[in-house]
Structure 1
Amino acid sequence: MGDVLSQAEVENLLSSLDGDPTPAAPAQQAAASPAAPVYSSVPAPPPRTREKVTPYDFKRPERVGKDQMRALQTMHEGFGRNYGAALSALLRTIVEVKLTSVDQLTYSEFIFSLENPTCFNLINAAPLEGQLILDINPSLLFPIIDRLLGGGSEATPPARRPLTEIELLLVGRITGLFLNEMRSAWENVIELDLSVDRVESNPQLVQIVPPNEVVVLISFELTIGDVRGMVNLCIPFNSIERIGQELSANSWVTYSSKPASPEAIQRLGLQVQSAAVEVVVELAETTISTADFIGLRVGDIIATEKDVRQPLCMLIEGRRKFEASAGAFKGRKAIQVSGVITDPAQRTAKQADEDAA
Structure 2
Amino acid sequence: MAEVLSQSQIDALLNSMKGSDGEQTKETFEKKPNYRKYDFYSPKKFTKDRLKMVRGIYENYARLVSSQMNGILRASSDIEVMTVEEQRYHEFSNALSDNDIMMMQELLLPDRSKNPPILMHISQILMVNMIDRTLGGIGDDREIDSSYKYTDIELTLYRKLMGYILGATKDAWSNYIKMELGEERLEENPGLFQEISMDEPVAIVMLNVKLQEIEGRITVCIPGNLLTRIFSIIDRRKNVEGAYEPTGEEEREAIFSRIKDSPLTVRAQLGDAQLSLRDICSLKVGDVLDLNKPKESDISLYIDQEPWFEGKLGVHNKNVAVKINKRIHEQSSGEAADK
CA distance in 2, matches of 1:112, 1:120: 13
Match of 2:128 among 142, 147, 157: 142
Point out the structure with the larger helix share. Answer: 2
Shift of 1:143: 0.7
Residue 54 of structure 1, CA deviation: 7.5
Match of 1:79 in 2: 61
1:87-106 alignment, distance < 5 Å: 87-106=69-88
Q: Give the match's secondary structure for 1:233.
A: strand
When the two structures are superposed, what TM-score results if normalisation uses the length of structure 2? 0.55
The list of structure 1 runs, each at least 4 consecutive aligned residues, that deviate by more than 6 angstroms after superposition, is: none
Distance 1:229 1:60, change over 3 A: farther
* Percent identical residues: 25
Paired residues of 1:98 and 1:222 also in contact (CA < 8 A): yes
Residue identity in the other structure for 1:110: F
Cα distance, 1:196 vs. partner?
Answer: 4.5
- When residues 245 and 226 of structure 1 are mapped into structure 2, their CA distance, relative to the original with a 3 A threshold, is same
- Unpaired stretches in structure 1, ≥5 consecutive residues: 1-51, 259-357
- Taking structure 1 as reference, are residues 208 and 198 closer, same or farther at Cα in structure 2, changes over 3 Å only? same
Amino acid in the other structure paired with 1:142: V
Paired position in structure 1 for 2:116: 130
Secondary structure of 2:80's counterpart equals strand
* DSSP-derived class of the 1:133 partner: strand
- Give CA-to-partner distance per residue, 1:264-316, whole Å, 9 cap, x none: xxxxxxxxxxxxxxxxxxxxxxxxxxxxxxxxxxxxxxxxxxxxxxxxxxxxx
Instruction: Note if contact 1:61-1:214 (Cα within 8 Å) is conserved in structure 2.
Output: no
Are 2:192 and 1:205 aligned?
yes
Query: Are the counterparts in 2 of residues 162 and 201 from structure 1 also a CA contact under 8 Å?
Result: no
* Alignment map for 1:246-285 (pairs within 5 Å): 246-247=233-234
Task: Give the CA RMSD over aligned residues.
Answer: 2.8
Structure 1 window deviating more from structure 2 (54-63 vs 96-105): it is 54-63
How many residues matched?
203
C-alpha distance in 2 between matches for 1:53 and 1:94? 41
* Secondary structure class of the residue paired with 2:62: helix
Larger Rg: 1
Match of 2:151 in 1: 164
Give the match's secondary structure for 2:231. coil
Contact 1:218–1:233 (Cα < 8 Å) also in 2: yes
| C-alpha contact 1:102 1:218 (8 A) present in aligned 2 | yes
**Distance of 1:178 and 1:195 partners within structure 2:** 14
Q: Does 1:152 align with 2:138?
A: yes
TM-score, normalising length: structure 1: 0.52
Q: Is the partner of 2:67 in helix, strand or coil? A: helix
Answer with 191-200 or 70-79: which moved more: 191-200
161 and 58 in structure 1: CA distance in 2 versus 1, 3 angstrom threshold: farther
Cα contact 1:121–1:196 (8 A) shared by 2: no
Cα deviations by residue, 1:113-159 (Å, 9 ceiling, x for unpaired):
12331120121112361111011111111011111111124325224
